[in-house]
Amino acid sequence: MDATCLDAFVDALIDELAPVSSEVDVGPSLGRWVDCPRPVVDDEALLGVLAAAVAARNLLDFVIASAVGAAERAGVPGRRHLRTGTDLLRLLGMAPGAAARAVRVGRMAPSLSALTIAQRLGGVGIEFADAVGKGVTHVESRVPLSEEDRAAVVTKLMVQTTPAEVAVKARAIGIEKTAAQPVEERVVPVAEDTGLNEMTLAQNAEGRFEATLNLDVGTGEELCAALDPLCRPVPLPDGSPDPRPIHTRRAEAMGQVLRTYLSQSRRPMSGGVLPHVTLIRPVAAEASVGGGDAVDRLGFGGPVSAVTAELIACDATLTAVVVDYSGVPLDVGRAERLFTPAIRKALAVRDGGCAHPGCGRPVSWCDAHHIQPWSAGGATSVDNGVLLCRLHHTLIHHGGWQVYLGRDRHPWFIPPHTPGEPEPTPLRSHARRTMTDLPTAA
């Protein structure tokens, strides 16, 4: 078989895939099955087409990888003024990533006979073959492998079911073989080398912070353990699923980890003081007189909107003071913006965590929010406070939700609504309601 046979196969496949109208009965063909499938009747035919197409795809990927490997060994790219087989495949229209993968598989094929046999039968996809090749390279970078050892490693990797499992198994084999070496010859696995840890942090033109992390497996595990419980989906008040994608929940979890860290007293010093978020709020009158900037700004992040500044200041750093029966202040009036530990404890007892309907995240995840903003004359007291997780705290400041203290001295929430329209029925706080909007819910 040469290129002519493959061209004939491709031409026949193109003819089979010609568009077919549902009004014309042309008999069984790929075009008809793809464009006008009949429920139930065509089930078996479609499954057969899928199975055959996957095997054909695997075989064609193997042909591409083998052919580009042979082309490199024969020096074809150099005679075409190209550097590698990757450039050759890119010139033929393949995407750079797919081209590089095909070249890797083609180069590894002569030394991985068991894998090559499976590819020749159409039973192994190129992604899986690439993962096995990378796994063998990973192991060989730690310990030298004989032909028998390499064949044994390939066998162990091929019994895995996904490329990700192959990578995990290869790391395990590498660690196992490294541990068997003399101490003086052992190499620290790349995944465990803390000296390779890197982090970039930059502020983009929009004022947002962009970060990239490259961590050793131990630090990465600690990061995952810290984020995992904070990433769980939180149903909406009506019980519908959390609409936030996982990457959004993960970013919010990272913010919660940072806020928890900054709230602790035992942490490293920064400039001789404990690190904290610094909000710089210029006096508007003085700024206007002196021609200065009246915009709120953060110590590291720069200018922020007034709404975000109020969100940060809501739980940030005594005239009339109300105390409880033991003399602990429960209302520090206007003399203190921060909710004191005693007031937070009282809010924790009343709200039991995030008070937003349907949430109930634990107290340790929550900010203390001024129901009547401090900037509008609100006092720091139990009756003017409510516990909210950062997600729902943001919704109060940015999302159109409103909160007020009801006659039962518990928070009530008003969903967003268009001005001029009837106000929605208020919802009870999480501690006072079930996952329903019904006003009679307990």
* 372 Cβ neighbours under 8 A, 6+ residues apart: 378, 379, 384
> Does residue 273 have a pLDDT over 70?
no
Domain stop point among 177, 192, 207: 192
Looking at the domain assignment, is residue 249 inside a domain? no
For residue range 398-442, list pLDDT tens digits in order.
888 899 988 888 899 999 888 888 888 888 888 765 444 555 444
Looking at the domain assignment, is residue 133 inside a domain? yes
Judge if pTM exceeds 0.75: no
Q: Which domain holds residue 418?
A: 317-432
Domain stop point among 134, 157, 192: 192
CA distance 361 to 308: 22
Looking at the domain assignment, is residue 68 inside a domain? yes
CA distance 85 to 67: 10
Looking at the domain assignment, is residue 282 inside a domain? no
Q: Judge if 40 and 186 occupy the same domain.
A: yes
CA distance 380 to 278: 20
Q: What is the pLDDT of residue 365?
A: 83
Answer with the residue of higher pLDDT: 336 or 171.
171
Answer with the residue of higher pLDDT: 101 or 308.
101
Q: Judge if 29 and 173 occupy the same domain.
A: yes
The whole-number average pLDDT for the span 89-109 is: 92
Q: Judge if 170 and 23 occupy the same domain.
A: yes
Where is mean pLDDT largest: 180-184, 210-214, 350-354, 373-377? 210-214
* 367 Cβ neighbours under 8 A, 6+ residues apart: 259, 314, 315, 387, 388, 389, 390, 393
CA distance 427 to 237: 9
Looking at the domain assignment, is residue 283 inside a domain? no
**Tokens representing residue 220 in the block:** 């990465």
Domain stop point among 172, 192, 212: 192
Q: How many CA atoms lie within 13 A of 225 on its CB side?
A: 6
Domain count, the chain: 2
Length of the chain: 442
Looking at the domain assignment, is residue 260 inside a domain? no
For residue range 296-337, list pLDDT tens digits in order.
666 666 677 776 777 666 654 433 444 454 444 555 555 566
Q: Judge if 321 and 188 occupy the same domain.
A: no
What is the 8-class DSSP label of residue 218?
H
Q: What is the pLDDT of residue 287?
A: 42
> Does residue 88 have a pLDDT over 60?
yes
Q: What is the pLDDT of residue 288?
A: 45
Looking at the domain assignment, is residue 204 inside a domain? no
* 202 DSSP β-pair partners: 210
Q: Percentage of the chain surpassing pLDDT 90? A: 20
Looking at the domain assignment, is residue 153 inside a domain? yes
Q: Quick one: pLDDT band at residue 71, thresholds 50, 70, 90?
A: very high
